[in-house]
Structure 1
Amino acid sequence: MFPGGDMQKLLQQAQQMQADMMQAQAELAESEVTASAGGGLVSATVTGDGELKGVKIDPKAVDPEDVETLEDLILAAVQAATEDAKRLAADKMGPLGDALGGMTGGLGLPGM
């Protein structure tokens, strides 16, 4: 079924891909992206793996008479930062995800 030691080579490729994936995931967890809303009145920071790390609110954005606008700005900043984190993850994991994405019929590796 795997003539000439192809199975060993395949296993080595799979192990290398797994190591690369783990490295990329660790790098994403350490990476941070920040996005803002309302012209910078509210900003949110999210890690590359999607964890919300912080929110900054400019005092000018705080109006006790208009809490809804502040809530909307916070939501917009968090959503924008989350989208940026998803793009970062897609860029970082892209080649690995493409290789692993074909796992429905095999391992997504050449020769399978």
Structure 2
Amino acid sequence: MPQQPTREEMIEAGRAFEQRLRRAQASLGQALVTGRSADGAVVVLASGLGQLKAVQVSPTVFDTRDVTALQDAIAQSIRAAAANAADLARQEMGAVEINLY
């Protein structure tokens, strides 16, 4: 049977885990991810934490004046940026392992 960790070892492991989370959060806050609409007319820039930074719209969308298409493109871009931010967070933070004794 494995030996149970001491109280001090558990506290130290908790501190190390908290430190890793803080570093990952800081890194994600500095990172930029993009999301593009299917037609490429709209590009969204966001932080790795999902904070919207900028929206870029191609001037070609104004030629058609299709409001519904523009709304769909914006929504697609935001969803893509959110998915990319989530992927980056998984990469940055890795799997979280919790051991209960």
TM-score interval for Structure 1 and Structure 2 normalised by the shorter chain: 0.7 to 0.9
Q: Check 1:7–1:41 CA distance in 2 against 1; reply closer, same or farther (3 A cut).
A: same
Structure 1 segment 1-112 matched on structure 2, within 5 A: 6-63=6-63, 65-95=65-95, 98-99=96-97, 108-109=98-99, 112=101
Contact 2:39 2:73 in 1 (8 A): no
Q: Structure 1 length normalisation: TM-score?
A: 0.78
- How many residue pairs end up in the alignment? 99
Long gaps (5+) in structure 2: none
Q: Percent identity?
A: 27
Higher normalized contact order (CA 8 Å, seq sep 6+, divided by chain length): 2
Quickly say closer, same or farther: Cα 1:72–1:9, change in 2 above 3 A.
same
Q: What stretches of structure 1 of length at least 5 have no aligned partner?
A: 100-107
By how many angstroms is 1:4 displaced? 8.9
Q: Runs (4+) of structure 1 moved beyond 6 Å?
A: none
One-letter code of the match for 2:76? A
Q: Distance in 1 between matches of 2:79 and 2:66?
A: 21
More helix by share: 1
What is the TM-score of this pair, normalised by structure 2? 0.85
